[in-house]
Amino acid sequence: MFTKKLLPILMFSIASLGIIGCSSDDSADDAPVYTGQFKQKVLVEDITSASCVWCPLATFAIEELEASEFKDKIVAVAVHGDFNVNLVKDPFVLPGMTNLMRAVNLTGWPHISWNRNTAISGSQFQSFIPKKNNGTEVQYTFDANLFTNFYTKYNLFTEGSPIGIKIESNLDTTEGSVDLSLLFGEDLNQDLKYVIYVIEDGLVFRQANSSTLYGNTSGTGRWEVDFVHNHVVRATNNFLGEPIEAGETVVGNEFKVSSDLTYTVENLENVSVVVAVLDKNGRVLNAQKAKANTKQDYEKI
């Protein structure tokens, strides 16, 4: 095991990072090696801002997905940035998020990234929330058939992933640790990366809004004063991920890592941990989510 220190920055820092590689010499038993697939989930990263008047469109799209038949197939996070500080300074911005903006090729706001696949435009989500006229006003709606066309076109949902993700955490309102384990159902033999997010729901702060959503029937730009922000990233080990050596990504190996994070959250009951595993090109291979201070085990299929 080794530990490395990073300098504290604003609301959070990484206090330490330990990596344990499990080999046959340190295995506690002779359990059979699992060679199979794990449940696959898509990481949906909403790059948003309290000062962005069209960002409620992305919020709505994710809310509708999470209320649909596809809710168990996605893991959503909201990464806040400063769209226009002359309007308002977003209180949820974390240092380093501009690295993510470059990695997902952000060219406009709002932007939803799907498994960090830059072949999918950040505005493409608008294809499955079309405007419809209900007779009295024009409103956005979620269209499941159009979403099916969208995820089929980009092959977002697969039968499974060769990477299983297990999460345990011990968090309080200002600091905590996340224990991550990865199990490989087949030989990958490639360098990977992992990203850990601590996210929080139910954060109330104003939101600029020019959409005909959230009570703004006119579509004229205004402030939604008590807007509820969900999935807000409060801490991360590294927006671009920390490395996993190729020698660790072989069938039967269990890669383990522990990250100590400091941050600020308002209500621990609304906090969750999200983990994503990336390939060498930065695309997400699998993602998982667990409520704070609970255990999410491997989901074998």
pLDDT of 25 higher than 60: no
pLDDT for residue 21: 42
The whole-number average pLDDT for the span 89-95 is 97
Percent of the chain with pLDDT over 70: 89
pLDDT for residue 132: 86
**Cα 78 to Cα 45: distance, rounded to the nearest angstrom:** 6
The answer to whether residues 273 and 167 touch, using CB atoms and an 8 Å cutoff, is yes
One-letter identity of residue 138: V
Q: Kindly report, residue by residue over 239-263, the tens digit of the pLDDT.
A: 999 999 999 999 989 999 999 999 9
pLDDT for residue 178: 98
Residue 88 within any structural domain of the chain: yes
Residue 110 within any structural domain of the chain: yes
Mean pLDDT for all residues in the chain: 91
How many CB atoms neighbour CB 61 within 10 A? 23
Token output for 189: 């033999």
Residue 301 within any structural domain of the chain: no
pLDDT of 12 higher than 70: no
Domain count, the chain: 1
pLDDT for residue 23: 41
Q: What residues contact residue 92 under an 8 Å CB cut-off, 6+ apart?
A: 50, 78, 80, 203, 205, 229, 232, 233, 234
Residue 222 within any structural domain of the chain: yes
Q: What CATH number should be reported for the domain holding residue 276?
A: 3.40.30.10
The whole-number average pLDDT for the span 114-128 is 98
Q: Which residues pair with 161 in a beta bridge?
A: 38
The whole-number average pLDDT for the span 78-105 is 97
Q: What SS3 string covers 208-251?
A: EECCCCCCCCCCCCEEECCCEECCEEEEECCCCCEEECHHHCCC
**Global model pTM greater than 0.95:** no
Residue 256 within any structural domain of the chain: no
Residue 300 within any structural domain of the chain: no
**Cα 250 to Cα 252: distance, rounded to the nearest angstrom:** 6
pLDDT for residue 133: 81
Residue 67 within any structural domain of the chain: yes
Token output for 274: 């999200």
Q: What is the DSSP string of 46-84?
A: EEE-TT-TTTHHHHHHHHHHHTSTTGGGEEEEEEE--S-
Looking only at the bridges linking them, the beta strands covering 192-200 and 203-204 are unpaired
pLDDT for residue 30: 59
Token output for 295: 């255990």
The whole-number average pLDDT for the span 273-283 is 97
pLDDT band per the 50, 70, 90 thresholds, residue 7: very low
Residue 112 vs residues 62, 76, 78, 115: alpha-carbon distances, Å? 9, 10, 9, 10
pLDDT band per the 50, 70, 90 thresholds, residue 13: very low
Can you tell me whether residue 110 is helix, strand or coil? coil
Range of the domain at 234: 35-176+197-242+264-292
Residue 249 within any structural domain of the chain: no
Q: Kindly report, residue by residue over 53-85, the tens digit of the pLDDT.
A: 999 999 999 999 999 999 999 999 999 999 999
Residue 123 vs residues 52, 55, 61, 97, 235: alpha-carbon distances, Å? 14, 10, 11, 19, 25
Q: Kindly report, residue by residue over 162-215, the tens digit of the pLDDT.
A: 999 999 999 999 999 999 999 999 999 999 999 999 999 999 999 999 999 999
